[in-house]
Amino acid sequence: MPRRTWLPSPTRLPELVADPALTRRLLTQRPKANALANGAKLIGLFLGRDEHDMLDDSLAMADAWFDAIYVLEGTKPGPERDACLDHYRNHPVVAEVCFDDALPEAARNRDGSRQLLLEAARRDHGVDNWIAILHGDEILQQDPRLLLATLHPSVAPSVRVRVAHHFLHTEAEAHWDRLAPLPLRQRVDTLMWPGVPETRFFFDRGDRNYRLDQHSQVVPRSLRVGPLIDGFVVHQFNYRSPTQAQARAADRTERGWQAQHYRHLRPGVGSPFVSTLDLVDDDGPNYEHLDTEPPIVTRSSATVPWINPAGLSEASNGRVSEYVTETADRVANPDVRRWITGPDGLVATLHQHPNDQVLPYRSLARLRGQHSQLADPRPGFDASFRYLWRGLRARHINNDQRWRYAAEFVAGLVDGPAGAAPPSQPTGSAAAPS
């Protein structure tokens, strides 16, 4: 089959024929596959409000993954805003912090306010960059550069991933005094799986903008919906303690920002501890209704992937293959462990083809055939494998990036977050009832 190439619009043909230099320039300026390897940067547009208690978690890997992050902080002036600014100063990747109350009235509390951040990013870094949509209450635990390296901006100008919402489960209420001092991801480890599809990345060519009063759309206008990449999971913590949950509900209801997400926290209606976020009342459904797959309630320690960035730090220091092999020894499922470290397994295949731009078809077919015989009951195992497979099959990434895909895959399989104690279980059960 002949290779496809970019053809100019018929309306420009006379101009192009008359100016061959323009033709060459346009052809060479088209975004290439793996734009990050061709000079594109990864820039974050970060919205924060009253999240000083978890900013270090949400920015944990930003210094390693992003070229710059631009922050729009909505916390009201006072000690909490000062605490947020202290956290931002601890992360050199944060290039600029703006404040929501300095925006025009029509742009406050709106998704369109990201236009201010987008213009700042273009001012400092130009266009033709990947843009990430970030929030202060979310943990981005997987390296987005690996995902974006497999995508062509002309084919996938925006990307959807899974956003898994954590919440305070009813079983935790009786044990809250014990859970409250624990780190966030151990304290609030109940979530809805597999999460809802949401756009979190887009390629900025400079020709699309937000409307300042735009809402309920996190990317610029007229940008088409991109592919959904299962296996890349963003963990969102809207509810981190009973007091914080009630305060957040009051704030969002007053401002009309996603008020439907907090109906169960209306005064006199219910408790911040619930058995599910798949809530339906007279006003309609809540969080998980947009997904085609029925959601389940589970623990973060029972899902794949759930990756501790601290555990993956070794893979950032040139020890990727060693990290994969060592971490694979902790995988509980013996069949999966053999698939990773066996004679014809994942590790051996990557070692055999260190300089190949594309892994040989026979090697891929062998790995795929072996995987078809594996079974792991944990939610997300199949999606995590599909995400790994995307990296193994990609034609535009190097072998080091394939090893990093393998590192994330293996880290997500170990029992409990890599390099840390397993998350606390309020009732001692493996998973909350669905």
DSSP for 381-426, written as a single string? HHHHHHHHHHHHH-SSS-HHHHHHHHHHHHHTTSSSSTTSPPPP-T
Is residue 83 predicted with pLDDT exceeding 60?
Answer: yes
DSSP 76-94: PTTHHHHHHHHHHHT-TTE
Contact 117/98 with Cβ under 8 angstroms?
A: yes
Is residue 371 predicted with pLDDT exceeding 50?
Answer: yes
Phi, psi for residue 12 in degrees, rounded to 5? -105, 0
* Structural domains present in the chain: 35-236 (3.90.550.10), 309-411 (no CATH)
Residue 287: pLDDT band with limits 50, 70, 90? very low
Q: State CA 136 to chain mean position distance.
A: 13
DSSP 217-233: --S-TTPPP--EEEEEE
Q: What 8-state DSSP symbol labels residue 252?
A: H
Is residue 307 predicted with pLDDT exceeding 60?
Answer: yes
Pick the more confident residue, 8 or 219: 219
For the CA atoms of 300, 305, 307, 311, the dihedral, rounded to the nearest 10 degrees, stands at 120
Is residue 28 predicted with pLDDT exceeding 60?
Answer: no
What Rg value do the Cα atoms of the chain yield, rounded?
Answer: 23
Q: Which of 205-214, 284-293, 368-377 has the lowest mean pLDDT?
A: 284-293
Phi, psi for residue 243 in degrees, rounded to 5? -65, -45
Please report where in the chains the tokens 């998973």 appear, as a residue: 431
Instruction: Tell me the CA distances in angstroms from 338 to 328, 332, 335, 371, one per residue in order.
Output: 9, 11, 5, 10
Q: What is the pLDDT of residue 87?
A: 94
Residue 237: pLDDT band with limits 50, 70, 90? very high
Among 206, 77, 201, CA closest to 148? 201
Taking the C-alpha atoms of residue 216 and residue 112, their distance in angstroms, rounded to an integer, is 9
Mean pLDDT of 13-35: 55
Percent pLDDT > 90 in the chain is 34
Mean pLDDT of 385-395: 90
Taking the C-alpha atoms of residue 25 and residue 21, their distance in angstroms, rounded to an integer, is 6
Q: What is the pLDDT of residue 78?
A: 93
* Tokens describing residue 369: 């055939």
Taking the C-alpha atoms of residue 247 and residue 172, their distance in angstroms, rounded to an integer, is 19
Among 214, 219, 241, CA closest to 137? 241
Taking the C-alpha atoms of residue 131 and residue 337, their distance in angstroms, rounded to an integer, is 36
Contact 149/402 with Cβ under 8 angstroms?
A: no
Q: Does the reported pTM lie above 0.85? A: no
Q: What 8-state DSSP symbol labels residue 311?
A: H
C-alpha dihedral sign at 57, 299, 234, 106: negative
Mean pLDDT of 341-358: 89
Taking the C-alpha atoms of residue 420 and residue 324, their distance in angstroms, rounded to an integer, is 17
Mean pLDDT of 90-100: 93
Average per-residue pLDDT for the chain: 79
